[in-house]
């Protein structure tokens, strides 16, 4: 279906159809024409803005990998402070956070039977080290995480007992990331379930959609009171090879080494900047991303793109405010969170520091650099007409307002933590993630995967949206529980 173009004259001439009152005598809930016009200016300026592309190039080329506690971490913080000041944002600061981090060491794996083959692998974040000299054992193959959970817990009776568990969970390619959500428990919880059944270690098919011989890392966890066993991922082609051998009746045997350190005490930082509001300056419109990345690639998509998008959007709002004199009613705050990848320490620290400050909205860009295709929210029902008005401003950018899940948005991992913990209202600008999990948490998370024009479309969406949320005639709240 062809989308009807949005005519600025029609938009400003009369209240929007979906902004009409729900009951007789209720004043229309609508944005002021001048606010809609300024949002359109931000939208159009964002499409032509190259700031986000410049920022993500700097972050990836000058800083590179930046896991919490790594040498790249303080370089990233220094870069972010300098960049946000360069965008003429105010109250630029770094909130220190004491954390205990995991650090990767050398690791390798190979099949020793029925054939001798080296495997491409990566340790999973938080994995304990293998004993000195490594581990060798027979492999117990499970087609997915559900099959492992269905295996008996009776001591000594599980196929996992005394073996290396291999979960061959595949990740479905989807635009919205649902495939990742379905597959990721194999990584995050696999070691818990394998250890309950007496396994020596856990290996998984990489949680990703690519067919290249690279391994995807990512965080896993343990359960108190259960043994902690080493855990790693193997590449998709290596998983295919193991599955084929197993299907042919072969008994697999594997040997691996894995070195890592846990509980390393370091100080990292959330980096924060603001575009101060006017009459409602104490209310916060939160635009966020996470500054850290895994150590295998340069973190271009996860989450250098998000850092660049929200920073550039706030910078664009600042530039137009300087040119036009139109400043937001509410304060727009950019937060670049620390250690999202392996602990959510930045979000937890922000929660503690700012829990008593009113938040008009929380949001996060953390799904690569693909085009925004849908607007979703988590707001009280009476605010939905305003969300519809925002969607109409974004419609020329190819952004829809789907009825299904319209008010069930997922605002990104850090923002979702804040949304749940404080019942703050939230908004999602859903990106096209069809190819995102090809490179997620891998050595291929590099700049060449970003299309600059799609990055600019994100900036246009975020700048226009943040402006209208800041100008809202209604104080947003979360929907009823």
Q: What is the pLDDT of residue 117?
A: 97
CA distance 214 to 121: 7
Q: Which of 361, 383, 358 is nearest to 473 (CA)?
A: 383
pLDDT band at 466 (very low <50, low <70, confident <90, very high): very high
CA distance 334 to 164: 44
Is the alpha carbon torsion for 311, 314, 317, 321 positive or negative?
A: negative
pLDDT band at 5 (very low <50, low <70, confident <90, very high): very low
Its pTM stands at 0.93
Per the structure block, which two tokens stand in for 162? 């005394």
Q: What is the pLDDT of residue 37?
A: 98
The predicted-structure confidence for 115-150, as pLDDT tens digits, reads as follows 999 999 999 999 999 999 999 999 999 999 999 999
191 CB contacts (<8 Å, ≥6 apart)?
124, 127, 202, 220, 221, 222, 228, 229, 231
Q: Is the pLDDT assigned to residue 12 strictly greater than 90?
A: no
Gyration radius of the chain's alpha carbons:
24
Q: Which of 84, 60, 66, 78 is nearest to 304 (CA)?
A: 60
The predicted-structure confidence for 328-368, as pLDDT tens digits, reads as follows 999 999 999 999 999 999 999 999 999 999 999 999 999 99
Q: What is the pLDDT of residue 29?
A: 82
Q: Is the pLDDT assigned to residue 103 strictly greater than 60?
A: yes
The kind and range of the H/E element at 353 are helix 345-354
CA distance 445 to 467: 31
Q: Is the pLDDT assigned to residue 313 strictly greater than 80?
A: yes
pLDDT band at 28 (very low <50, low <70, confident <90, very high): low
CA distance 176 to 433: 6
100 CB contacts (<8 Å, ≥6 apart)?
262, 263, 264, 265, 266
Does CATH number 3.50.30.30 belong to domain 115-251?
yes
Q: Is the pLDDT assigned to residue 20 strictly greater than 50?
A: no
Q: Do the strands 372-378 and 426-431 form a parallel or antiparallel pair, or are they unpaired?
A: antiparallel
Q: How many CA atoms lie within 13 A of 84 on its CB side?
A: 29
Residue 55 in contact with residue 455, Cβ under 8 Å?
Answer: no
Q: Is the pLDDT assigned to residue 302 strictly greater than 60?
A: yes
Q: What is the pLDDT of residue 240?
A: 98
Is the alpha carbon torsion for 275, 276, 277, 282 positive or negative?
A: positive
CA distance 396 to 67: 37
CA distance 365 to 415: 9
Q: What is the pLDDT of residue 27?
A: 62
Per the structure block, which two tokens stand in for 152? 């008996």
- 334 φ, ψ to 5°? -95, 130
**CATH topology classification for 26-100+265-471:** Aminopeptidase (3.40.630)
pLDDT band at 21 (very low <50, low <70, confident <90, very high): very low
Mean pLDDT over each residue of the chain, to the nearest integer: 94
The kind and range of the H/E element at 259 are strand 253-275
Q: Is the pLDDT assigned to residue 2 strictly greater than 60?
A: no
Q: What is the rounded average pLDDT of the residues 107-111?
A: 98
Q: For the purposes of burial, counting CB atoms within 10 Å of the CB of 4, is it exposed (0-12), middle (13-18) or buried (19 or more)?
A: exposed
Q: What is the pLDDT of residue 26?
A: 60
CA distance 147 to 150: 5
Q: Is the pLDDT assigned to residue 391 strictly greater than 80?
A: yes
Q: Which of 109, 139, 123, 135 is nearest to 259 (CA)?
A: 123
Q: What is the rounded average pLDDT of the residues 223-252?
A: 97
pLDDT band at 481 (very low <50, low <70, confident <90, very high): confident
Domain regions of the chain by residue span: 26-100+265-471, 115-251
Please list, residue by residue across 248-267, b when 16 or more beta carbons sit within 10 angstroms of its beta carbon and e when fewer do.
eeeebbbbbbbbbeeeeebe
Q: What is the pLDDT of residue 367?
A: 98
């Amino acid at each position: 279906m062809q989308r009807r173009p949005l005519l600025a004259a029609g938009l400003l001439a009369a209240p929007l159809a979906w902004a009409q009152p729900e009951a007789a005598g209720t004043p229309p809930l609508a944005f002021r024409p001048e606010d809609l016009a300024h949002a359109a200016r931000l939208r159009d300026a964002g499409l032509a803005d190259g700031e986000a592309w410049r920022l993500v190039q700097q972050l990836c080329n000058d800083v590179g990998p930046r896991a919490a506690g790594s040498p790249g971490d303080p370089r990233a913080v220094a870069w972010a402070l300098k960049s946000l000041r360069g965008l003429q944002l105010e109250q630029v600061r770094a909130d220190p956070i004491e954390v205990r981090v995991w650090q990767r060491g050398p690791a390798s794996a190979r099949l020793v039977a029925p054939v001798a083959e080296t495997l491409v692998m990566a340790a999973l974040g938080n994995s304990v080290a293998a004993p000195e000299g490594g581990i060798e054992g027979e492999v117990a193959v499970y087609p997915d995480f559900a099959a492992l959970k269905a295996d008996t817990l009776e001591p000594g009776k599980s196929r996992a007992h005394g073996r290396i568990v291999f979960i061959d969970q595949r990740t479905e390619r989807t635009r919205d990331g649902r495939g990742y959500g379905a597959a990721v428990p194999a990584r995050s919880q696999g070691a818990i379930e394998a250890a309950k059944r007496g396994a020596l270690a856990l290996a998984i098919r990489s949680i990703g959609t690519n067919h290249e011989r690279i391994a995807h890392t990512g965080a896993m966890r343990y359960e108190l009171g259960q043994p902690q066993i080493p855990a790693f991922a193997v590449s998709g082609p290596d998983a295919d090879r193991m599955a084929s051998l197993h299907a042919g009746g072969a008994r697999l045997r594997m040997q691996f080494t894995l070195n890592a350190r846990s509980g390393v005490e370091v100080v990292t930082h959330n980096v924060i900047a603001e575009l101060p509001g006017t009459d409602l300056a104490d209310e916060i419109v939160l635009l966020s991303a996470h500054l850290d990345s895994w150590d295998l690639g340069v973190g271009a998509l996860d989450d250098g793109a998000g850092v660049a998008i929200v920073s550039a959007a706030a910078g664009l709002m600042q530039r137009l405010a300087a040119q036009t004199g139109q400043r937001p009613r509410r304060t727009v705050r950019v937060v670049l969170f620390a250690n999202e990848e392996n602990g959510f320490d930045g979000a937890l620290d922000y929660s503690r520091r700012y829990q008593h400050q009113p938040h008009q909205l929380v949001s996060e860009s953390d799904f690569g650099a693909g085009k925004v295709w849908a607007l979703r929210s988590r707001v009280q029902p009476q605010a939905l007409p305003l969300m519809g008005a925002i969607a109409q401003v974004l419609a020329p950018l190819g952004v829809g307002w789907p009825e299904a899940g319209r008010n069930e948005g997922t605002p990104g991992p850090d923002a979702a933590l804040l949304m749940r913990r404080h019942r703050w209202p939230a908004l999602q600008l859903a990106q096209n993630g069809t190819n995102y999990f090809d490179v997620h948490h891998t050595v291929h998370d590099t700049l060449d995967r970003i299309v600059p024009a799609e990055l600019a479309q994100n900036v246009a969406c975020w700048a226009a949206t943040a402006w209208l949320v800041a100008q809202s005639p209604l104080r947003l709240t979360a929907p009823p529980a």
